[in-house]
Structure 1
Amino acid sequence: MFYFLAYFFLEVVITVDIASRIGGLATFGEIVLSAFVGFFLLTNFRYTLAQSMTALLSGSITVDQFQKMNMMSLLGAILLIIPGFFSDIIGILLQFGFLGTFVAKKILHLKEKKRKKYEGDYDDAIDVEIIDDNTIGK
């Protein structure tokens, strides 16, 4: 709830400040233009998703990176459709992968999973030989 109120407050303050500087007609034009860009990104999202799936299948990215990239791109397109300058700025920033990951880590408190690397001797490994009694050559 706090994040929503903070977002709403910043949206109103930034929109009123910028709209008073550039005028009503330019503000209307920006709202319409950003909505068209947002709809364009949403309609072309399937191509972005296909590229991400290709990168996932080739092993270039992990499943976590795949989810973050697509979620942030989709959220950015939706924010571009919402009228307001602050949402447009955040929507544009989320279209870039590294900024989307940064925002997700800061707001959602996402942390990278630490992988444990085995750095010891393999002396405690058990060597097993399996002998099968059911061989064909009986």
Structure 2
Amino acid sequence: MWILLVFLAIPILEIALFVQIGAQLGVIGTLAEIFATAAIGLVLIRLEPHRNAHDVRAALDRDASPASPMAHSAIRMIGAVLFVLPGFFTDLVGFLLLLPPVRTLVLTQLFKNLRAAHRREETVIIEGEFEHRPDTDIPTNRRLDDQEKRD
């Protein structure tokens, strides 16, 4: 439900920022900012696979897990995509995701939430019996067979 609110709130926020900031920058300034950040985002998207490969290779050379460089690369890619999207709010969030301390904070919080969600999950055990029929090689549920015999 909260994700629906985010998808509704972001365009409204972007429109409000375009009205407020666009009035100060003017049409030319607003369009220049949109095109400049989109160009920066495209350059970052294009360069990210090379940076990712370098970071992963460096992690493997020092016998470290490549998970952290790959996670940082994913966050940098999301930041670059947000740069391509037109809007002041998405540009701000994209810029923040490019900063290493912010990426570390985001990843720490994400992994903390994933661990908590994993601990909450309970294992569900469903008990049952099955019978192997040699003529079909398909295991069948004994309870269903008993019920079919009654019908």
Instruction: Normalising by structure 2, report the TM-score.
Output: 0.63
Q: Give the deviation of 1:28 after TM superposition.
A: 0.4
Aligned residue-pair number = 112
Gapped regions of structure 2 (runs ≥ 5): 116-151
Relative distance call for 1:2 and 1:39 in structure 2 (3 A) is same
Q: Deviations over 1:62-100 (max 9, x none)?
A: 444223201111001111111111111111111122212
SS across alignment from 2:111? coil
Structure 1 residue ranges without an equivalent (≥5): 114-138
Give the 3-state SS of the residue equivalent to 1:110 in structure 2: helix
CA contact (8 A) 2:48 2:77 kept: yes
Q: Secondary structure at the match of 2:86?
A: coil
1:73-92 equivalences in 2 (<5 Å): 73-92=76-95
Residue aligning to 2:137: none
Q: Are residues 62 and 97 of structure 1, via their aligned partners in 2, closer, same or farther at CA, if it must alter by over 3 Å?
A: farther
Which structure is richer in relative contact order (CA contacts within 8 A, separation 6 or more)?
A: 1
**Among candidates 42, 65, 69, match of residue 66 of structure 1:** 69
Judging by fraction of residues, say which structure has more helix.
Answer: 2
RMSD over aligned Cα atoms:
2.4
Tell me, yes or no, if structure 1 residue 42 matches structure 2 residue 45.
Answer: yes
Aligned to 1:110: 111
Question: Normalized against structure 1, the TM-score is what?
Answer: 0.68
Instruction: State the identity %.
Output: 28
Return the alpha-carbon distance in structure 1 between the equivalents of residues 22 and 62 of structure 2. Answer: 46
Q: 1:97 and 2:100 equivalent?
A: yes
Q: Cα–Cα, structure 1 residues 4 and 55, in superposed 2: closer, same or farther, change >3 Å?
A: farther
Q: For residues 10 and 104 of structure 1, what CA distance do their matches in structure 2 show?
A: 25
CA 110–13 in structure 1, closer or farther in 2 if over 3 Å, else same: farther
Distance change (3 Å), C-alpha of 1:2 and 1:26:
same
Equivalent residue in structure 2 for 1:9, among 12, 15, 19: 12
